[in-house]
Amino acid sequence: MRFQLLGPLTLADGSEAVVLPPSKPTILLAALLLRANSVVSADYLQRAVWGEEQPATAKAALQTCVLRLRRLFTKHGVTETSIEAVPGGYRITAEPHTLDLLGFRDQVRRAVLLSHDPETELCELKDALSLWQGALLANVRSDVLHRDEVPRLAEERLRSVERVCDLLLGLGRHGEALVELWTATRVYPGHERLHEQLIEALYRTGRQTQALAEYRRVKEFLLDELGVDPSPALQQLELTILRGEDLGPDGVRAPLPSLPGAGVVDGAVVPVLRPAPAAALVPAPVPTPVEEAVGDVAAVPVAPSGTPAAAAVRPVPNFTGREAETAAMTARLTAYAADPDRHPPIILVSGAPGVGKSALAHHVAHLMRDAFPGGRPVVRATRPDGEARPTAELAAEAYAALGAGGAGGAGDTDGARVLLVLDDVVDADQVRPLLSAVAQARGGVIVTSRMGLAGLVATHGGWVHRLSVFTAAESYALLVSVLGAERVEAEPEAARRLAGQCGHLPLALRILTARLLTRPALSLGDAVDWFGDDPLARLALPDAPGLSVTAVLDGALARLDPRLSEAFRRAATGTGSSFTADDVPGTTEAVLERLADAGLLEDGPPGPYRIHELLRAHARRTDQERIRRTEKV
């Protein structure tokens, strides 16, 4: 059995892992493991568990916590590690093979001794860094530990990341260094050494413009957030790039001053660490749209501190339709909440762009507020530009939300269930590492995605709800709900024609009703003619360019491989209302299946494929614009 501290506190036995639920015994275990093989005073443990203002019974309660922790060890078969009561406190024993933190430090120590062999040192450090599995102590709700211990551990990791990038640059592996540095600099925007390495890597790969743009970005951040200029090393690097000077031949630098200056910590030789500026250890805010839950657009704020904040789910205005899906989802979530022995549920909601996946997920999560008192945080898996967020970034935000009781949750609920909404997931690999940990933390998960994510279902199970467009009755009900019965029922036939012009697509209906609400004097009959002239142009909001059918479809197509985009264009512009692979020259059924999985085609084998009329109109307009541009050239 192995304890994992470098992420959510976890018990691992081979490939099996159990993420401990947030609780006071979990806090106690974390406090002991952080100082493994040393005596930890009872006073410190009490402050870690109950905070600075402890109850009068804290001493006795600590003994109860130790008893509960020993029972937990027995339950999970922990035999190599024991908790000893010693004068003044407690001590837990651990070895590098039973505690990942000690294993990490042991590998860093070996890497320091191998600095004469850059390739071997690099391998050792990469192996050490692979032990980090997400946000530190995400399931440990202790202000004391997060204040005193997490920054120190984060600094240990950062120094190893710096050294890895130094080694990669010195070995001439600049492209590999860029992969590491793009992520690290975005998570730690105030860490100047990482930015210096990134700028150097860009310049050495011939990307002078990008290198200078990166310098301006970090300079602006330092001035705006901290009121300081970049370091002399960064300023000199900028001057070198502006002059077009050679940085000199590649070569592995000597280890940073902190690396050879090693000290003994918990019986292992580890680097003596220089503290980084506080801003360097605070993850960067994730830019996210703040919009209503319309169609597939979800609200996700950024916390004032700059740390990504998962939004608390909120009711969807005028939610209508999806009765069967809502009933099935709430039944499964309610059954889990009532039976702690059930496996935590994973529910996948998939479908075409604008079909209302996020709205359904938000609606169901809101309905389950009493069954999941730990909170119902929403974590969006894409950036505003549609780019997928890295798994590590998602993990940090998700674990932070879960560890804090969930956005808008009940605070210190001591293990209360949390329902996490992972919104607009791009592919299975993006979230697969999160799901087991969330489930072990007593959390249910609702995943929304345009993709079918069959691979995720195959590995993690769960229930799938593939949404299609509204029925005519559901579309009419939405118009009544938003516009009011008096206005709609005065012109019922016109209302039905408007819904048909929207193709019964929920996003299009939401945009339509928003435009009609701002024009109360416009009759629905006149609106039919107005919308019918150019539905795509009308299905947009002048004051919110991102909330348009065209923008959403552009974003969906931009995510596709160019070959798939071309296949979609051929299918949309060269076929009738239904077709097979034989009707699309140069296209196979496998390609069409990938387009269907992405929500861009409907139906498919054994019957024919179909394309939603708004998607077809969008593809034809895009094709015509492309032809016009070509003719002008």
Q: Name 350's bridge partners.
A: 449, 466
Confidence at residue 103, expressed as pLDDT on a 0 to 100 scale = 92
Q: What are phi and psi of 321, to 5 degrees?
A: 75, -175
Confidence at residue 616, expressed as pLDDT on a 0 to 100 scale = 84
pLDDT at position 340 over 50 = yes
What mean pLDDT comes out for the span 439-468?
A: 84
21: which residues sit within 8 A by CB, 6+ positions away?
139, 415, 440, 441, 442
pLDDT at position 412 over 70 = no
Confidence at residue 371, expressed as pLDDT on a 0 to 100 scale = 85
Determine which helix (DSSP H) or strand (DSSP E) holds 83, and give its type and residue range. Answer: strand 83-86
pLDDT at position 448 over 90 = yes
Confidence at residue 414, expressed as pLDDT on a 0 to 100 scale = 46
Confidence of residue 633 (pLDDT cuts 50, 70, 90): low
* Higher pLDDT pick, 325 / 279: 325
- d(C-alpha 4, C-alpha 118), whole Å: 28
Confidence at residue 406, expressed as pLDDT on a 0 to 100 scale = 40
- d(C-alpha 301, C-alpha 379), whole Å: 10
Q: What is the mean pLDDT of the chain?
A: 79
Confidence of residue 251 (pLDDT cuts 50, 70, 90): low
* Cα–Cα separations (whole angstroms), residue 571 to 37, 436, 559, 615: 66, 39, 18, 11
Confidence of residue 411 (pLDDT cuts 50, 70, 90): very low
> Does the bond joining 606 to the residue before it have cis omega, within 30 degrees of 0?
yes
Q: If DSSP codes are grouped into helix, strand and coil, which group holds residue 407?
A: coil
Confidence at residue 476, expressed as pLDDT on a 0 to 100 scale = 92
- d(C-alpha 416, C-alpha 443), whole Å: 9
Closest CA to 570 of 598, 592, 590: 592
Confidence of residue 187 (pLDDT cuts 50, 70, 90): confident
* Cα–Cα separations (whole angstroms), residue 365 to 65, 329, 361, 420: 33, 9, 6, 8
pLDDT at position 5 over 80 = yes
DSSP characters over 235-270: HHHHHHHHHT-------PPPPPTTTTSEEEETTEEE
Confidence of residue 282 (pLDDT cuts 50, 70, 90): very low
Helices (H), 404-548: 428-440, 454-460, 472-483, 485-490, 492-501, 506-517, 524-533, 535-538
Q: Are strands 463-467 and 418-425 parallel, antiparallel or unpaired?
A: unpaired
CB neighbourhood size of 530 (10 A)? 15
Cβ-defined contacts of 388-391 (< 8 Å, 24+): 388/426, 388/427, 388/430, 389/286, 389/430, 390/183, 391/429, 391/430, 391/431, 391/433, 391/434
pLDDT at position 578 over 70 = yes
Confidence of residue 260 (pLDDT cuts 50, 70, 90): very low
Q: What share of the chain is helix, strand, coil (3-state, %, to 5)?
A: 50, 15, 35
pLDDT at position 604 over 60 = yes
What mean pLDDT comes out for the span 315-321?
A: 83
Query: Could you give the percent of the chain with pLDDT greater than 70?
Result: 84
Closest CA to 158 of 184, 122, 195: 184
Confidence at residue 10, expressed as pLDDT on a 0 to 100 scale = 87
CB neighbourhood size of 335 (10 A)? 12
- d(C-alpha 1, C-alpha 82), whole Å: 12
pLDDT digits (tens, 9 = 90+) for 366-410: 898 888 887 788 888 887 777 788 877 777 777 666 654 444 333
Q: Are strands 418-425 and 346-351 parallel, antiparallel or unpaired?
A: unpaired
Closest CA to 225 of 199, 190, 277, 195: 190
Confidence at residue 327, expressed as pLDDT on a 0 to 100 scale = 92
pLDDT digits (tens, 9 = 90+) for 8-57: 888 888 777 788 888 889 999 999 999 999 898 988 999 999 988 788 88
* Least confident range of 327-331, 434-438, 573-577, 612-616: 434-438
pLDDT digits (tens, 9 = 90+) for 359-378: 999 999 989 888 888 778 88
- d(C-alpha 377, C-alpha 371), whole Å: 14
Confidence of residue 281 (pLDDT cuts 50, 70, 90): very low
- d(C-alpha 1, C-alpha 97), whole Å: 9
Query: Could you give the percent of the chain with pLDDT greater than 90?
Result: 13
What mean pLDDT comes out for the span 479-486?
A: 89
Per-residue tokens: 620: 């034809």
Q: What crossing angle do the helices spanning 192-204 and 174-187 adopt, rounded to 10°?
A: 150
Confidence at residue 329, expressed as pLDDT on a 0 to 100 scale = 92
Confidence of residue 467 (pLDDT cuts 50, 70, 90): very high
User: First and final CA of the chain: distance in angstroms?
Assistant: 67
Confidence at residue 312, expressed as pLDDT on a 0 to 100 scale = 64
Confidence of residue 276 (pLDDT cuts 50, 70, 90): very low
* Higher pLDDT pick, 134 / 402: 134
* Higher pLDDT pick, 272 / 566: 566
Confidence at residue 269, expressed as pLDDT on a 0 to 100 scale = 30
What mean pLDDT comes out for the span 525-551?
A: 81
Confidence at residue 581, expressed as pLDDT on a 0 to 100 scale = 85
- d(C-alpha 185, C-alpha 180), whole Å: 9
